[in-house]
Amino acid sequence: MTLDIITAPSLQPLRHGFFSRIGGASSGVFAGLNCGFGSSDQSEIVAINRARVAAQMGVAPGHLAGVHQVHSADVIPMDAPLGPTPQADGLVTATPGVALSVLTADCQPILFADHDAGVIGACHAGWQGALGGVIENTVAAMVRLGAQASRIAAVIGPTISQRAYEVGPEFRDRFLSVDDASARFFVQGKGDRLQFDLPAYGLHRLRRAGVGQADWTRHCTYSDPVRFFSYRRSVHAKDPDYGRLIAAITL
């Protein structure tokens, strides 16, 4: 089956994509393109799915670089295919032939490019990573490789939208303890519940980091089960596990 890939004009002509779940070899709750070895899906099937992504990116499977994501603010440079997978949530490179990738299932996948400098980046920005600074750290790591923040285009891919992201008051308090202005990313829900706008917060952090262009593809992972995996939807459905979406970019 043909893969379903969302691309962004600001990242073209670089080969990149936010891959939906359509077109993979997995079945059951993972049906489609599950690219997460951390799931309980069969590792052989996940490898097949990742090989399909690598082929689409024009690299060998071993050159589809990723990290062991831990909701941190850590970002690493990637000059060659990995051996043991390090813990981090962002990757940057100026090396052609290496595809940077991140996995998500409601969190924000963000792809970055400074076309003039030939520097790219990718980060996994859930609420913890975004609050902790993974977005700014990705931009800073790109600058160390020769990029200029004002030339960087950054695109947030499919992520959970505000209407689907219900949180408690203690969640908002964590953001307000860092920046009172974060109150604008919350609206009142039912009772004491609040609705958090994760992609708007991501765009705010990107712009605060000085990137030249910041966009969101405006796809909600929770609201479209045909195209996207969603951790929160799987919890509400009491599924035993969930698939992981992949986003990737290469020079």
What's the sign of the alpha-carbon dihedral 64, 70, 71, 73?
A: negative
The closest alpha carbon to 130, from 187, 82, 179, 194, belongs to 179
- Whole-angstrom distance, CA of residue 229 vs CA of residue 174: 27
Angle at 141 between CA 199 and CA 230, to 5 degrees: 30
Q: What is the pTM of this model?
A: 0.97
> Is the peptide bond between 13 and the residue preceding it cis, with omega within 30 degrees of 0?
yes
Residue with tokens 């409601």: 106
Mean pLDDT along residues 100-111: 98
Beta strand ranges found along 94-142 (DSSP E): 99-104, 108-114, 119-125
- pLDDT at position 250 is 98
> What pLDDT, in 10s, does the model give residues 157-198?
999 999 999 999 999 999 999 999 999 999 999 999 999 999
To 5 degrees, how large is the angle CA 114–CA 89–CA 61? 75
Homologous superfamily of the 5-161+197-250 domain (CATH) = CNF1/YfiH-like putative cysteine hydrolases (3.60.140.10)
- Per-residue pLDDT for 80 more than 80? no
Q: What percent of the chain has pLDDT over 90?
A: 95
pLDDT (tens digit per residue) in 25-41: 999 999 999 999 999 99
Report which of 250, 251, 247 is spatially closest to residue 6, judged by C-alpha positions: 247
